[in-house]
Amino acid sequence: MSADINWIAIILAAISTMIVGSIWYGPLFGKLWAKLTGVKPDPDFRGGKAALQYIKAFLASLLTSIVLAYVIAIVHKNSTDSYFVDAIFVGLLLWGGFTAARIFMHDIFEGRPTQLTALNIAHELITIVVMSGIIGLLPV
């Protein structure tokens, strides 16, 4: 099964996750997230140590962007809707069926606070919708 995908859109979508995450877990909900997770600021988290973490996060986001773009392209081949509408639909479908459901399931068994689960699931919703929107606005 083949699909045409826009690599510029994929890279921009991956970059967007870093921006959304830095806002979400920074000024918007950073203090709440730290309280709920018990994570304390690490004064040594800079330089190479920080760069490696951000590279890993970007690569994970890049993989998500590639898969998202591929599924959007395949769905659009069988749709009469606009590429953007299909992109948002696919993003919401994959978020609900995979991301939200899997986070919820893991958090239940790990005993994480419900508020933390909701915070992380909401972050993923915003992230996936932004990624989908970028891919949807920049079709091949």
**Contacts of 45 by beta carbon, 8 Å cutoff, 6+ apart:** 53
Question: Would 2 be classed as within a structural domain?
Answer: no
Rounded to whole angstroms, the Cα distance separating 36 from 91 reads 27
Q: Which two tokens stand for residue 37?
A: 């997770």
Question: Would 111 be classed as within a structural domain?
Answer: yes
In this predicted structure, the answer to whether residue 49 has a pLDDT above a threshold of 90 is: no
Question: Would 1 be classed as within a structural domain?
Answer: no
Higher-confidence residue: 75 or 46?
A: 75
Q: Which domain holds residue 125?
A: 7-137
Phi, psi of 68 (to 5 degrees): -60, -45
Q: How many domains does the chain have?
A: 1
pLDDT digits (tens, 9 = 90+) for 11-39: 999 999 999 999 999 999 999 999 999 98
Global confidence as pTM: 0.92
Question: Would 93 be classed as within a structural domain?
Answer: yes
